Amino acid sequence: MRWLLLVMLFFTLPARADTVTLQLHDAAAAAMLNEALRSEAFWSNASVSRYKDKQYDEIRLREVDSGFISMVTGEGRRDFDHDVVADTVFHNQWKLPTYMDGAKAAVRLGQGVDGVNGLPYTDTFFFLDFGIFYGTLIQRMYRIESGDRTLLAFERLDESFVDAATWSGYQKQVEQTADGVDRRWPPFNSVVPVAEVFGLFIVEPGSKHRTRVTLVNKLGFAATGGASWIAGLGSEMPPVIRSGLKGGFNGCVAIARRAQRKRDEEAK
């Protein structure tokens, strides 16, 4: 999974109308992301927090029927090449556990072209630490090039996305990865699958630095049984959401910074 300063430069999502129509397996998620992508009015009732001297400069939270949809945007406080940032998000999120405390483990499961929307995808499993419980998620991310923008939409993956043999192979990798996580003692070691996740990264030219990244995200847990009621409550608490946005954004910036440093050194 930090932002702008001067009012005259404040970024709004989107800065222009976008002709891309996102198509996901989850039609309701796609509809919400398309609305957020096309209309600043989508955020008219959102709470807004602005930051100075951070890798992000703005966070927005809009309350919806089942929790909050969130947005974080920023330029990482340095110049990044567009393709370095896009590749970090699309190919290298499995590296987040090295840079983000809340990501305990991740594994790249597979890649290909999606049969529903015809887009290239990457599938990744995440084992996440939310402090008083753990969450698990298999995510499919799609990549769309649109002029000077790269759009990277994602949603929760289940067995309907792939054939039985592929799903079986994914499950084996998921179990091996989860079994290798060193977890806390009870009662704060429950593992709750993420029930709902979808979102969109937008990589585009920045105003102060070369590249700006914006993440729109919705995350939720089913609030039934065991520790899932705590997870459901946590996913609807603005401080928890903001903390997760900040951690994920900073983690991606750290991965991109290392890739950019390597590229710059090779170019000398």
Which pLDDT tens digit goes with each residue over 200-241? 999 999 999 999 999 999 987 765 555 544 555 555 556 667
Confidence category of residue 1, pLDDT binned at 50, 70, 90: very low
**What pLDDT sits at residue 264?**
87
Residue 35 has what DSSP assignment? H
**What pLDDT sits at residue 223?**
55
Confidence category of residue 3, pLDDT binned at 50, 70, 90: very low
Average the pLDDT over 74-102 and give the result: 93
User: Between 16 and 262, where is the model more confident?
Assistant: 262
Alpha-helical (H) ranges within 70-112 are: 82-91
**What pLDDT sits at residue 12?**
41
Residue 121 exposed, middle or buried by CB count within 10 Å (0-12, 13-18, 19+)? buried
Mean pLDDT of the chain: 85
Tokens of 43: 């955020």
pLDDT of residue 2 exceeding 80, the answer is: no
Q: Which helix (H) or strand (E) holds 68?
A: strand 67-74
The SS3 call for residue 47 is strand
What is 207-261 written as a DSSP string? SSSSEEEEEEEEEE----STTHHHHHHHTT-HHHHHHHHHHHHHHHHHHHHHHHH
**What pLDDT sits at residue 67?**
77
Lowest mean pLDDT among 45-49, 104-108, 139-143: 45-49
Interatomic CA distance for residues 1 and 102, integer angstroms = 10
Q: What is the CATH number of domain 7-267?
A: 3.30.530.20
Which phi and psi angles does 212 have, rounded to 5°? Answer: -115, 140
Q: In 10 A of CB 93, how many CB atoms?
A: 25
Tokens of 144: 């769309």
Q: In 10 A of CB 229, how many CB atoms?
A: 14
To the question of pTM greater than 0.85 for the whole model, the response is yes
The SS3 call for residue 26 is coil
The SS3 call for residue 117 is coil
Alpha-helical (H) ranges within 12-91 are: 27-38, 82-91
